[in-house]
Amino acid sequence: MRRFKITLSYDGTNYHGWQVQPELSTVQGTLESVIAQIEGATVHVEGSGRTDAGVHGLAQVAAFDLENPIPVENLRKAVNRLLPRDIRVLAVEEAAADFHPRFAARAKTYEYRILRSELCSPFERLYVYHHPYPLDEKKMIEFAPLAEGEHDFSAFAASDDTDELGRSKVRTIFSSRLAREQDRLIYRVRGTGFLKHMVRNIVGVLLEAGKGNFTRADLEARLKPGCGIPPGPSAPARGLFMIGVEYE
């Protein structure tokens, strides 16, 4: 049995997220279906994380096992030939038998794109959150680094099917920055891992601060353990991209 690590890119518009769901089109499900055709048997694909419906991936990482002796480069070509055009495998390599794309990850980076111009091109509408209305961008840029460090992000996490397991919602964020780049506000965040809707909820809170509805104290209160503040508001999925995953 051979272990493969792949890096892939996808447009999440037409998918109900990464994770397999019954009778719904997902990125994981599409990959498993295609790779099973090559293997001639069921194949389970493990991802480095679960992106939500409508979220895009620039460099998602996944892994799976095959008995097929197909060469690495031929495998990449064969998978891409069978995949729909909104998913592309960028790279394939053989990995150690115990490699797991999520457990072995040391850091992940996401980017959220807010278009500030008056008009949004129809060719961009699925890949940015168009917000042409007044915002205190200086305040948003100032508040973004408050998420850095180790915090309990319960107030930024949507309910998840694993909540009943009582898993910790403490995460470490290495970098949380917002910057104006031409006609866009770009939020980039890098950390050990992320909870469901966490990045979109951070952006949503920053937007509320930009509208004058939240203060610095409001954001800081959401980072305190046991604050009991419900998560939200959440920015739309279409502006979010998984940028990359880092390994040792």
Query: Which residues form the catalytic set?
Result: 52
CA distance 23 to 33: 13
Asked if 227 contacts 41 with a C-beta cutoff of 8 angstroms, the reply is no
Asked if 181 contacts 187 with a C-beta cutoff of 8 angstroms, the reply is no
CA distance 43 to 32: 6
Tokens in use for 73?
């480069």
CA distance 112 to 59: 15
| CB-CB neighbours of 232 under 10 Å | 15
